[in-house]
Amino acid sequence: MSTPRIVISATGAVCSGGKNPGDIFAAVRDGNSSIAPIQQWDTTGWPTTTAGEIAGFSAREMVEDRKLHKLIRRTDLLGLYAAGRAIDGAGLAAHRDTLAADAAALFSDRTGVYVGSGSGNFENQYDYFPLLAAAGGSLPAFGRELANTVNPMWLLRSLPNNVLGHIGIKYGLKGSNACITSHSCSGSLAVIEGMEALRNGEADRIVAVGHDAPIEPQMVLYYYRLGLIASDALRPFDVARDGSVFGEGAGALVMETEASAAARNAPVLGYVLGGGEVSEATGLLAIRDDGDGLARAILQALDNAGIGAADVGMIVAHGNGTRASDASEAAAIRTVFGGMAPPVTGFKWSFGHLIAAAGILEATLALEALVQGVVPGVAALNELDPECAGMPVSAQPQVPRSKVALILCRGFGGTDAALLVSAA
């Protein structure tokens, strides 16, 4: 069966490492980390104090329309920013403006939006604290005072699918869509589902975006209590690794059928070749030691793309720095590639773990790596863990073996996703 290639005509990204894929990649390539002391709240006395926060975060810089700021949250601002840069870069709206009315309407109907969303965090629930305090434990009082105390738009601000709805409204896109809330695999799943919608003829163009802003006190505290947060730095595959570090941000791709890209003479940055995703059925937090789920996801992606393991030129590992995930990820790579794995790297040590946005943002960086012909070294790696033996991961830069990158992603619920992209 032939597997039609899906064109990537533009990318967008934002995180602590920069406000476009090129800058973020340059920081990783040059060995720079933007993980720093948390600024959003006073961490005095906290057992963990660092994250990849966007320094000098400005809502206005992310989304110009100030009226919108009251209707959405920080995570939505990030998603709209990355998606906007990708849409502008691909020239979607500009192209539509050149079309006659009927053709323009069809262009809108045939352009879809697939979003991976962090699905609501704790801060929006805190909007009820003043009301709870005023009600003093009385629910009838809570009900009576509700309208005087809480922002009437509270529910809308809390919607996990805000980025989807607002991209649609701002750019007039009306096609096939989804908002995926599958924890860390959400962004990768947005790419996979968007790609399949294009292959299936449901749409001609898809904007895929993943966004998340998990750096908030209660979230950090829970992950810390679960033993998932590093004491100071994220060191993927290192013998001394002791956990992950949160980041925040978003990544976006504009994907098109080859026919759509050719018809409007679109830029071609690269291609989405295929993807796979599976569950390990282990519950919310546990993962299998043998990497079974991740190995199956990789094999599924290769099969989906119609290529073999030997065609993969580089691997962007999930590399979240936790003991169990990195060791089982190394096992999965051994299972699929044997002793023939291409150069492996990971990016999270530089700007943190973006949860729902991780997979898609890292896919935009993988494209940069392929274009520049550089697999960045993992600057945080001092000594490879013997459990991860045989992994061609290094603190030094390597050279991709081909134009194809494999991007791995793992989330709560024992979910594993694999994406394959190639440079043009």
Partner 1 sequence: MTSRKRVAITGLGLVTPVGNDVATTWDAVLHGRSGGAPISVFDASGFPVHIAAEVKNFDAAAALGDRRLLKLTNRSHRFALAAAEQALQDACIRPTDADATRWGLTVGAGMMGVDFADLAGTQVHSAADGELHSDLLLTDGPANDPVAFCRSNCAAGLSLLTRRFGIRGYTSAVHTACASGGQALGTALKLIRRGAADRVLAGGYDSMISPVGISGFCLLSALSPDNETPQRASRPFDVSRNGFLLGEGAGFLVLEEWQAARKRGAHIYAELAGDGNSLSSYRITDSPPDGDGPIQAMRQALWSAGAMPEDIDYLNAHGTSTGMNDRSESAAVKAVFAPNVHRLAVSSTKSTMGHLIAAAGAVEVAVCALAIRDGLMPINANLRDVDPDCDLNFVRDMPRRQRVRMAMSNSFGFGGSNSCIVLRHPDETDTALERGS
- Which 244-303 positions form the footprint of partner 1 (CB under 8 A)? 277-285, 293, 296, 300
Nearest distance from residue 119's CB to partner 1, in Å? 4
Nearer to partner 1, 180 or 370 (CB): 180
Q: Is 32 or 231 the residue whose CB approaches partner 1 more closely?
A: 231
Residue recorded with tokens 């070749």: 273
Per CB under 8 A, the list member of 152, 308, 339, 386 interacting with partner 1 is 152
Q: Is 422 in the site for partner 1 (CB under 8 A)?
A: no
**Residue 370: CB minimum distance to partner 1, A:** 26
Tokens for 6, please give them: 């899906």
Q: How many residues does the chain have?
A: 424
Which residue lies nearer to partner 1 by CB, 95 or 174?
A: 174
- CB 402 to partner 1: min, Å: 25
Rg (CA), the chain: 21
State the DSSP code for 14.
Answer: E
Among left, alpha and beta (phi > 0; psi -120 to 50; other), residue 306 is left
The only residue of 4, 143, 338, 373 in contact with partner 1, by rule CB under 8 A: 143
**How many angstroms separate the first and last alpha carbons of the chain?**
22
* Residue from 109, 242, 290, 387 binding partner 1 (CB under 8 A): 109
Judged by CB under 8 A, the residue of 146, 268, 309, 371 near partner 1 is 146
| Residue selected from 55, 100, 101, 139 as contacting partner 1 according to rule CB under 8 A | 139
φ, ψ at 275 (rounded to 5°): -160, 165
> Minimal distance in Å, beta carbon 157 to partner 1?
10
Of 61, 64, 126, 289, which one interacts with partner 1 (CB under 8 A)? 126
Q: Scanning residues 295 to 354, which ones bind partner 1 (CB under 8 A)? A: 296, 300, 304
Q: Which residue has the tokens 């990768």?
A: 188
- Which of 22, 31, 217, 267 touches partner 1 (CB under 8 A)? 217
Query: Which tokens hold the place of 225?
Result: 């209590």
**Which range binds partner 1 by CB under 8 A, 135-143, 248-256, 259-267, 334-342?**
135-143
Residue number with CB closer to partner 1 (23 or 196)? 196
Q: Half-sphere exposure of residue 407, counting CA atoms within 13 Å on the CB side?
A: 31
Extract the tokens encoding 223: 């992950």
Contact 104/194 with Cβ under 8 angstroms? no
Nearest distance from residue 217's CB to partner 1, in Å?
4
Q: Give the C-alpha separation, 224 to 246, whole Å.
A: 11
Instruction: Return the closest-CA partner of residue 51 out of 304, 311, 354.
Output: 354
Q: Which of 179, 250, 361, 388 binds partner 1 (CB under 8 A)?
A: 179
**Interface pick for partner 1 out of 32, 98, 218, 396 (rule CB under 8 A):** 218
Q: How far is the CB of 394 from partner 1 (least distance, A)?
A: 33
Kindly determine how many residues on this chain lie close enough to bind partner 1 according to the rule CB under 8 A: 96
Tokens of 342: 């291409």
Say which residues have a Cβ less than 8 Å from residue 246's Cβ, sequence separation at least 6: 51, 52, 214, 215, 219, 220, 223, 229, 352, 353, 355
Strand pairing report for 270-279 and 415-423: antiparallel
153 binds partner 1 (CB under 8 A): yes
289 within 8 A of 327, measured Cβ to Cβ = yes
Interface pick for partner 1 out of 52, 79, 165, 210 (rule CB under 8 A): 165
List the one residue out of 128, 121, 113 whose CA is nearest residue 197.
Answer: 113
Nearer to partner 1, 187 or 377 (CB): 187
Closer CB to partner 1, residue 147 or residue 339?
Answer: 147
Nearest approach in angstroms of CB 245 to partner 1 is 18
> Which range of residues in 27-35, 128-136, 234-242, 389-397 is near partner 1 by CB under 8 A?
128-136
Binding of residue 159 to partner 1 (CB under 8 A): yes
Residues in 33-72 that interact with partner 1 by CB under 8 A: 41-46, 71
Distance CA 392, CA 282 (A): 28
d(C-alpha 187, C-alpha 182), whole Å? 9
Of the ranges 91-99, 173-181, 336-344, 376-384, which one interacts with partner 1 (CB under 8 A)?
A: 173-181
Closer of 282 and 394 to partner 1 (Cβ): 282
For residue 93, state whether it binds partner 1 (rule: CB under 8 A).
Answer: no
DSSP 211-255: EE---SHHHHHHHHHTT-B-SS---TTBTT---B-BB-EEEEEEE
